[in-house]
Amino acid sequence: MSAQGNGVEGAQWRGGGSDGLPREVRRQTSRRAGPDAGKVVGWLHRQTGAEVALVCNHAESVASHIEGFPRETLRPLAPLLARMSSGQLAAAATRAEGLHVRCEALGADEPHPVLVVAGRSEPRPEAVSLTSHVGLGAAFLASLLMCQPSR
């Protein structure tokens, strides 16, 4: 997807910086409303220009995604996403529906949510690193949510 969000056809994995991620995590941990996966997914999209989704419940539902995320990409990835969700794999790179796809399993508890990042071109090393950083940030936010006292 282009930086303007005009469609997956122009997707390029841009290099960005991980500077904004710690800021976003700090902002979310200071809020009373709890973590917002959409903000983290959106941040990764802005940094890489790639399509991003967070898949949950043994890869059966999409918890958060960038508008225009090519959901048809998830169907051929279903066996891989199920393995990741069950803890058999922590990260994977593959191709599906003509896209380069990187997946990161998040958190310590099963079923693991899986971060799915897709783009037309092969990701640059900086984009791969950012995807891993987002996975760590999202896992941290999820663990904080589980530690929130009930109200």
Mean of the per-residue pLDDT values of the chain: 75
The rounded Cα 85 to chain-centroid distance in angstroms is 13
Which value, to the nearest 10 degrees, does the dihedral of the CA atoms of residues 84, 85, 86, 87 take? Answer: 50
H/E stretch holding 114 reads: strand 114-119
- Residues 93-113 have a mean pLDDT of 90
* Average pLDDT estimate for 59-74: 86
Average pLDDT over residues 18-43: 68
pLDDT range class, residue 117, cuts 50, 70, 90: very high
Structure-block tokens of residue 67: 């508008």
Residue 81 pLDDT > 90, yes or no? yes
Measured CA to CA, the distance from residue 52 to residue 54 in angstroms comes to 7
Instruction: Please state which of the ranges 4-13, 15-24, 44-53 shows the lowest mean pLDDT.
Output: 4-13
